[in-house]
Chain A
């Protein structure tokens, strides 16, 4: 498969040269996936949707019902090519959802055509040069390639059952599993010929619980390069989260002060704001608060952040990035001091330095990678863990708020200023080292960069959220209101 991709890539860049491109690059991509969701896995028995005879039947047949719902299943292969052609510092990009030779050559022609008519980018230097990879690439789990809809539906069904068995007040569950195997390659006219493959396994559970008029929700997820059959853990977690929030109370007035962020919650904010702020391109273009601050203390001394593109189990690990530059390990923040930024080829050459292997074409909810030109993005962003569990962190807090799970609105944070204002639907009042009571959905507002400076403790419980691995932590000076 990888040889086939590189062959197509070589033909593409040769064709571009023939058409007058000075440089050219082809990014080849295939993705095989099966995506399964089982929706409403237990509502039928408890939510009161099915009435009369059906309802009675449903109660009798509860264990049977629990393992059924509305299945949403799809699968297929996405494949395509993205071509960059350069004529006198003008970069043309064209892509097509096909790896057939005639379509690929047509995309090449379009890219060259664009390069010839668009104005140059004075900051363009050249495509990357070939380099030996530093890592072995990430794990490729053969089991994932072999997964089929039927087995995956059973996993979802077991999840729904486990979530429902946890507590009678759970009224509704959704479970989803996605198995993905990717083959990708990059070829350019400077001699880069890089290819790699990878697998991903994603599972999520979303649960609603009801007691009286109070209706709560909880969720959990797994993102991994390897297959795991045991999804009971996330099912139970999701249900526990929803159930422990029942009986929510409003906050008495506004809380300004200590907030404990669970690993996943802080990971979500980091995946948006930190990821954007450390991009060299954003720094160069005045879209980062970290501009001109290398060497400065920008965070609490316990905060260290590394971008690691070569760890075998990282979800974005590969031998090379999306323009063929070897992935590497880059120190971003060391003991609170800003050490450096992450670069792709373009941003690196603007500063006459080496790329850190952080070119990415991946987009959250949108076109597949081949349809996007590369830009700077973290590979696997790791916040170094400290010590202790979430409970240990809670035991240190006299008067505070604990924020768990998903943060609504994290994706809409201001990535330039670092201002965030999110709604936490799984939040708790913390008093004298323990959880006092669950809170009604509350708004949690602050500034990410100021928050990093006011961290007082970091837990030893790192968890993955997309491409960020982050422990729970305690932050001061955050505003919470309900």
Chain B
């Protein structure tokens, strides 16, 4: 099979050049996604999906085109090349700018990481047991727990890359995740809470203290029960302490997307033309990289064959780099950073983040909390969104009202909103407790594509954040 994909990729490149393409690249994929879901100890879903195919992108004159095939024989692959060339010819007529690629050294060879208990070597039973144990522990924790759902997910296989400049390489992605969510009920009051852990590692990660299935289940159950007593967060401006998960959403959704160079090159991002400017407090450094040591999703090179470098987007508060594909790097006369990614072989590469996080500072969490005189400690996220104007919203699923550094009472879901460029100036404390997380559920959406990403950071304290409570 492996030889076959690489042979077909070779043929596709030769054929595209013959049809007049000035550049061609091919992504090959042979991956598996697996999922197990248990509800109240009963196994509901056990599923797996095989994703095999190749995607072809060609540059022809001023145009570019993309097509793909999941039928891996010579006839269909060559048809796919023809379709991509035809699309490129059509798009050439509407193109304002001729797309050019910045130089990238042709990537070669294979990359993989060794993990302990790779999911493909672990029996279904053992994975299923983790889910069942989570349900048992959470249900036994409190009689007000009405429903428990546990999910295990895995993704692995091989991604191939080749282009007409001589690149020939592959890597073996891996991602696992385990999560549990609990619904608690008291009379008419329904609340939910969850915990989870995931990243590019083997199943031995779930044997480590703090990340065992049991510990996550206890957390989710306790948090759900606590939320039964929670009050709606007040609406208005308060100082905030946010945890790692929320820091990650802020780094990724609110800031990271604006630093994606395709938006910059189009003039859509508010970071356009602001390189070298002071955008945040001195203590703020935001990084995006493919292989962080703190965890996350491991990506050695992107879908243009460019090694994933460590990018300090914001360095000590100063805008220092955008995230680039080869195309945006050429257009903005900068260097590619390895940020061109596609959901799978059936999508073209676009500028995406990898693992985006706030660099750790030197505050201790208890000190950062102690100095919070009147405000909200916001914890864990249900996601977020941002506009090109820099206006953002993200949602904390737990929280506490804080007075004089003391947690007074728990809060229900609360939204934090504002403009990211104002918020970054108001960061006053960054702690040393960094975490970066990833997982096979969710991921990041852009245009019509989803991508696995990691995000995180330490606890961060921010002045004057707008909370949109319900009361």
Ranked 6 nearest A-B pairs via Cβ: A443-B468, A421-B415, A93-B47, A40-B266, A286-B147, A150-B90
CB of A446 within 8 Å of the partner chain: yes
CB of A75 within 8 Å of the partner chain: yes
A71-B63 contact given A114-B124, A425-B387, CB 8 Å threshold: yes
A389 to chain B, nearest CB (A): 27
Choose the segment among B13-21, B38-46, B156-164, B295-303 that binds chain A (4+ C-beta atoms closer than 8 Å). B38-46
A79 vs B76: C-alpha distance when bound (angstroms): 13
CB of A423 within 8 Å of the partner chain: yes
Q: Which residues of B contact A416 (CB under 8 A)?
A: 183, 190-192
Contact digits for A90-118, partner B, Cβ 8 Å, 1 yes 0 no: 11111111101001001100100010011
A157 vs B90: C-alpha distance when bound (angstroms): 13
Choose the segment among A61-69, A162-170, A332-340, A466-474 that binds chain B (4+ C-beta atoms closer than 8 Å). A61-69
Q: Which residues of B contact A114 (CB under 8 A)?
A: 46-48, 124
CB of B341 within 8 Å of the partner chain: no
Partner of B348, one of A65, A74, A217: A74
Q: Which residues of B contact A482 (CB under 8 A)?
A: 466
Contact digits for B111-152, partner A, Cβ 8 Å, 1 yes 0 no: 000000000000111001000000000000000001101000
Chain B residues bordering chain A, tally (CB within 8 A): 91
A281 vs B24: C-alpha distance when bound (angstroms): 47
Partner of B69, one of A76, A118, A123, A215: A76
CB of A171 within 8 Å of the partner chain: yes
**Are A286 and B183 in contact, with the CB atoms below 8 A?**
yes
Q: Which residue of B lies closest to A422 (CB)?
A: B393
**Are A371 and B49 in contact, with the CB atoms below 8 A?**
yes
**Are B71 and A98 in contact, with the CB atoms below 8 A?**
yes
Q: Classify the secondary structure of B's interface with A.
A: strand
A287-B147 contact given A149-B87, A208-B388, A365-B450, CB 8 Å threshold: yes
A443-B267 contact given A70-B96, A71-B94, A100-B71, CB 8 Å threshold: no
A276 to chain B, nearest CB (A): 12
CB of B445 within 8 Å of the partner chain: yes
Partner of A94, one of B48, B69, B86, B417: B48
**Are B47 and A148 in contact, with the CB atoms below 8 A?**
no
Mark out the residues of chain B between 415 and 471 whose CB falls within 8 Å of any chain A CB in the assembled complex. Answer: 415, 417, 445, 447-450, 466-471
Partner of B42, one of A121, A371, A445: A121
CB of A139 within 8 Å of the partner chain: no
A73-B66 contact given A121-B44, A412-B383, A425-B389, CB 8 Å threshold: yes
CB of A373 within 8 Å of the partner chain: yes
CB of A430 within 8 Å of the partner chain: no
**Are B470 and A79 in contact, with the CB atoms below 8 A?**
no
**Are B266 and A445 in contact, with the CB atoms below 8 A?**
no
Contact digits for A36-48, partner B, Cβ 8 Å, 1 yes 0 no: 0111100110011
Contact digits for B398-424, partner A, Cβ 8 Å, 1 yes 0 no: 000000000000001111010000000
CB of B51 within 8 Å of the partner chain: yes
Q: Which residues of B contact A481 (CB under 8 A)?
A: 235-236, 466, 468
CB of A80 within 8 Å of the partner chain: yes
Partner of B448, one of A35, A92, A95, A216: A35
A414-B415 contact given A121-B44, A287-B183, CB 8 Å threshold: no
A469 to chain B, nearest CB (A): 22
Q: Which residues of B contact A216 (CB under 8 A)?
A: 389
Mark out the residues of chain A between 347 and 385 whose CB falls within 8 Å of any chain B CB in the assembled complex. Answer: 365-367, 371-373
